[in-house]
Chain A
């Protein structure tokens, strides 16, 4: 699981890096911060969702998905959109 997560994270980061370079984009420090916190939350949410399912704790699993998943999505989409729109303006 950890190995798969590591590989996935590596692919996502390399993809992001290549995409930024190709679009000639850069991120501000707070966009980096939001992205990193969002990424940590993403892994935390995924691990706890599947961990709770493994515990046969189904209701907590979906509550975790809901209440941790929403801030995760916000924290990942926000910097992406901010950077995209700033780049479009320039």
Chain B
């Protein structure tokens, strides 16, 4: 019999209505809210592109709590704050003293320490880390015709004439709105190799991310060195020149720099390997080389536009990244980005007088996730990462110390600045290996769709955090890669994943 009328019962109708309502409610709960079309349009092109689940926070208010009044300026690399610091006074020199990357540790029978591993490291080192021809503060030497005809007046640059030729007309420097500048910088920076691009406006908070006695601010026209030198401190083994930045350099361009993924994660058993080795370090230095290349390119870009540019005055790059919306800060005191996790190298901060539109901090539930996760703390071969559930304002002493260097257990924490509520890393123990970075729950390549599903869930509710952290361990994601030979025997041309991931990172 054909039906010419509805056979839907009242009960079924009400059930359908309820399901529809629930569906609409769920959809509206997860949909970004726009009040009008103008807001939608203006919300997309000028702002950093995030995955849809990442939420923005008010400016100057990252997910890791900071008491900006309590946070003192950082002096002489001796005081810092995890996540907002390069740690001092210990780490640098101890890391270097017992560094397994030292060629004296070469061992033909030990994967990661063989001659080819050291060759890889030394090859990766070239260009950047030992290239002193580049002045990071005053910028790279211009190449090409500008060398001979550089105009000292930044208001009228470039000046493209060749020697003994009539000069091309001088042009005024680039002008546009901060939003237009941000879009332009972002396009160029991605092209130059940055993974993510953010912006900040310099205020007292940002100045607390610099070394206070090596970075001064004045009403001057261009950056310059005073000639003073901060002698090598215990944290880093090289002297720091004192530089002065003009107060008009009120903006920071923040560029996220990646590093090779696989060599960062091929680490060997944490029970037997407690520090970095040559293959592992090669990934770091590749990242730092990428940073320097990016710096030189962006400095030159800004110079041609007619604007001041600087670098090296920003050392607390993780904190800076958190303020610019590049990352949150994790239990291990290192940045965690929604896309790359902790598997990136550094947030490069270039100070400039080109007005840009600041990008706000983000909340993807990452720092909250760290409360229940602790994969990094469990993996840390040196027991340097705090295992407490809650972050704290207190600076707890070193739990184990480093007796082999005469640092007893219970040594007071003099390497962190008070003013940040976090899990203070015991930098007396840290040897700079990358177990915590490489095996952070968020540091996956994102080819399997479940990673993004989990990240989206974590961003919206913390209810399943424990389940996800346990699943990470159960499914074997935190089992450390020890396949040194596999890396050497691979053929990148046929290793689809490595090639694709490299492309994803813009390399």
Encoded as 1 (CB less than 8 Å from any A CB) or 0, chain B from 473 to 492 comes to 01111010100000000000
User: Is A55 within 8 A of B444, CB to CB?
Assistant: yes
The interface residues of chain B lying within 8 Å CB-to-CB of A44 are 449-450
Interchain CB contact under 8 A, B475 and A54 = no
Nearest-CB residue, chain A, relative to B481 = A56
- Cβ of B476 and Cβ of A63 under 8 Å apart? yes
Q: Does A27 contact B (CB under 8 A)?
A: no
| Residues of chain A lying within 8 A (CB to CB) of residue B479 | 59
Please report the C-alpha to C-alpha distance between residue A60 and residue B448 in the assembled complex, in whole angstroms. 10
The answer to whether B448 touches A55 (Cβ under 8 A) is: yes
Sample (18) of A-B pairs whose CB atoms are under 8 Å apart: A44-B449, A48-B448, A48-B449, A52-B448, A54-B447, A55-B444, A55-B497, A56-B481, A56-B497, A57-B448, A57-B477, A59-B476, A59-B479, A60-B476, A63-B474, A63-B476, A64-B448, A64-B450
| Residue contact B475 to A47, C-beta cutoff 8 Å | no
How far apart are the CA atoms of A66 and B496 in the complex, in Å? 24
CB distance from B308 to the nearest CB of A (A): 42
What separation, in Å, do the CA atoms of A56 and B481 have in the docked complex?
10
Say if the beta carbon of A51 comes within 8 Å of chain B.
yes
In the bound complex, residues from chain B placing their C-beta under 8 Å from that of A64 are 448, 450, 475
CB-defined contacts of A57 to chain B, threshold 8 Å: 444, 448, 476-477
* Residues of the B chain whose Cβ atoms lie less than 8 Å from the Cβ of A59: 475-476, 479
Q: Cβ of A51: which chain B residues have Cβ within 8 Å of it?
A: 447-450
* Number of interchain pairs (Cβ within 8 Å): 46
6 more CB-based (< 8 A) A-B contacts, given A44-B449, A56-B498, A57-B444: A47-B449, A54-B497, A57-B448, A57-B476, A59-B475, A63-B476
CA distance A57 to B441 in the complex (A): 13
Please measure, in the bound complex, the distance between the C-alpha atom of A51 and the C-alpha atom of B445, giving whole angstroms: 9
Give the secondary structure class of A's interface.
Answer: helix
CB neighbours of A67 from chain B (8 A): 475
**Once bound together, how far apart are the Cα atoms of A69 and B130, in whole Å?**
52
Interface string of A35-55 (1 = CB under 8 A from B): 000000000100110011011
Q: Which residue of B lies closest to A58 (CB)?
A: B476
A63 to chain B: closest residue by CB: B475
Q: B500 at interface (Cβ–Cβ under 8 A)?
A: yes
Q: Does B262 sit within 8 A of A, measured CB to CB?
A: yes
CA distance in complex: A63, B445 (Å): 17
Complex alpha-carbon distance, A64 and B451, angstroms: 13
Question: How does the 8 Å CB contact mask read for B40-73 relative to A, with 1 for contact and 0 for none?
Answer: 0000000000000000000000000000000000
Distance in Å: Cβ of B496 to nearest Cβ of chain A: 6
Closest to B477 in A: A60
Q: Is there an interface contact between A60 and B475, defined as CB atoms closer than 8 Å?
A: yes
Whether the Cβ atoms of B449 and A56 lie closer than 8 Å is no
Q: Are B475 and A55 in contact, CB atoms less than 8 angstroms apart? A: no
Question: What are the residues of chain B within 8 A of A48 when measuring CB–CB?
Answer: 448-450
A7 to B79, CA, bound (A): 61
Q: Is the CB of A47 within 8 A of B497?
A: no
